[in-house]
Chain A
Amino acid sequence: MGVLDNLLFGFQVALDPNNLLFCFIGVVVGTLVGVLPGIGPAGAIGLLLPATYRISPTSAIIMLAGIYYGAMYGGSTTSILVNIPGEAASVVTCLDGYQMARQGRAGPALGIAAWGSFIAGTLSIIGLMLVANPLAKVALRFGPPEYFALICTGLILVTYLSQGSILKALMVALVGILIGNIGLDMVNALPRFTFGLIELEDGVGIVPMVMGLFGISEVLDNLEQGLGQREIFETRIRHLWPSLKDWAEAKWAIVRGSIIGFFLGILPGGGAVLSSFVSYAVEKKVSKHPEKFGKGAIEGVAGPESANNSAAGGSLIPLVSLGIPANPAMAMLFSALIIYGIQPGPLFIKNNPDLFWGLVASMYLGNVLLLLLNLPMIGVWVQVLKVPYRILFPLILLFCLIGAYSLNNSSFDLILMILFGILGYLMKKFKYDAAPLVLAFVLGPILEQSLRRSLMISGGSFMIFITRPIACTTLCFAFLLLLSSIFPYIKKRRHEYREFEE
């Protein structure tokens, strides 16, 4: 079957009334999560995960993916109208989006953000469709050494691209690997780091972990900073359809944002946040009027908003073709698939054509639904924005508690989530990024499995990672990345030392 036949088959799956309903629920929840600061797409996926056990895996994945790309749409609304990003990926949209709103151009800003998101989202799905399958076929030739090299590189990329200190990100990733190894050993079935607790023998659940690290910690942080009412820029939202002049100024920003977002989305740790920042920097660089940026340039909204949506599609590629999640939200999807008994990886598309092509087609439909939700219904989201945080935070906490409890009907998961909430809160205080921890937690067991198998195959020789070309090239790339992050530090130290001597 060709791509078009597969896509038609996908539309048959996605247009099933049940799947369509779950796609709609997913994008609505996603937009809500994007509009409201506090829980984030990974936390929201975790929250709804237990509710999906009674529906088919296809419907569930369609809904959970809808939350992720829907959140990217919703994030722009708060950035433009309140100057507070609902999502980290929309931080950069504040710079020009809010300025446009102050100049009475909230309508075109919201309009171009929604249209840019729609176009970029659609282009990235085409990319996903064309790249994922061939990559999965290549990945079929991968053995344990290649997987070990890929995961190492992925983790180093995550730390390299994470916010703040690379050293701290690497440390956090190692902690993630340690936490990922809690539970029964896969060879001997003996407990590791379980502290004598039976509940830990199955390992730490990703849902309590993600909800704690991203949901609870965010609420605690906000509680400490005070719960002042957000100031919504009071303006009439008119001209949601951007003018021809707006389109002329924004069209290439959308195209560039889509391309940047797609490729950065594929990289582990890249994703929506990084791509929006890179897109903004590129737009400012190529603009004939860089001085307009920060003062209401429409390209400064169109580029990043396109990039973060495109990244959402791109980040599905490593998940479905290699079985490697690129960011915490994908890690949640990875875990969801495992719970449904589906193994993400090279055989995923071959073994689950209905799921993969149904998901792809649902993303086309989801993008159309999001456009309808975000333009004509913008007034509704503005009203949602007006809900005070003192009412929101108890609800966010309660949803997290229900989500964590419903997974295994265990109060142990609640305590685990609260402990991760405290850890996440302290990590924010000490400036540690939580994303590498989650990814390393998910990838840790695969990393261990591939390392142990590789060493068994080679009779204990690490040369297996050098003699196999793909593994060697990937590890060399990771090594170069590490070196490139160390050099600026050495240069800075030498400079400081010279200054000190003088």
Chain B
Amino acid sequence: MKAHDQASSLFWLLVSIYASIESIQMGVGALQKPGMGFITFGTSVLLGILSLALFVQTTLKRDHAKTEPLFAGKLWKRVLLVLVALLIYAKLMPMAGYIVSTFFLMSFLFWIVKGQKWWWVLISSFLTTLITYYVFSVWLKGQLPEGLLGF
């Protein structure tokens, strides 16, 4: 855990440095008339101090235990694939429409866990897409994108 805490504290330190610089550029103002960067500057400085404190605290800790890897095993690849699929879906849905894009996304998500028969994957994806479209678009009158194909 030691290495993880050191890494995360350095990450937050970088965030705080960036936010502090941005806040100064926005204008911190004076105590009588605080500017728009006033609270963000104070917050980011505090974040920086606490990040440093975490870094020092972790570094000084006498922890000789071996740091467990963050992404053990092979299943993190599945996480990565799902994330990529979600990002593609988010980008494509307005163009391809809800029904088409959701059918492909659901097929992928049902398929990614091994052991599913292809016909089961296709039928489940089709039904899920249709039912959710009916509930959210027709019944609840939500505005799901129709896409270039018109559905």
Contacts and interface: CB of A to CB of B under 8 A. Distances in A.
B83 A220 contact: yes
Interface residues of A, number: 64
Contacts of A459: 32
A3 interface: no
A482 to B, nearest CB: 12
B10 to A, nearest CB: 12
Main SS of the interface on chain A? helix
Interface residues of B, number: 63
A170 B78 contact: no
A223 B78 contact: yes
Contact of A171 (B51, B75, B102): B51
Contacts of A181: 39-40, 43
A432 B50 CA distance: 14
Contacts of A418: 83, 86-87, 90
Contacts of A448: 38-39
A455 B8 contact: no
A143 B132 CA distance: 47
Nearest to A431: B1
Contacts of B110: 390-391, 394
Interface string A107-121: 000000000000000
Interface of A: 50-51, 54, 165, 167-168, 170-171, 174-175, 177-178, 181, 185, 187-188, 190, 192-193, 216, 219-220, 223-227, 390-391, 393-395, 397-399, 401-402, 405-406, 409, 411, 414-415, 418, 421-422, 425, 429-432, 444, 447-448, 451-452, 455-456, 459-462, 496, 500
21 contacts: A51-B136, A167-B57, A171-B50, A171-B51, A171-B54, A177-B43, A178-B40, A181-B39, A181-B43, A187-B36, A224-B73, A391-B110, A395-B128, A406-B143, A411-B91, A415-B90, A429-B70, A430-B5, A452-B34, A456-B33, A459-B32
Given A452-B38, A455-B31, A496-B62, 17 more contacts: A165-B54, A167-B54, A174-B50, A177-B43, A190-B36, A192-B26, A224-B76, A224-B79, A390-B116, A401-B89, A411-B90, A414-B86, A422-B83, A431-B4, A444-B39, A460-B32, A462-B31
Interface of B: 1, 4-5, 7-8, 12, 15, 19, 22, 26, 30-34, 36-40, 43-44, 46-47, 50-51, 53-54, 57, 62, 70-71, 73, 75-76, 78-79, 82-83, 86-87, 89-91, 93-94, 102, 105-106, 109-110, 113, 116, 124, 128, 132, 136, 140-145
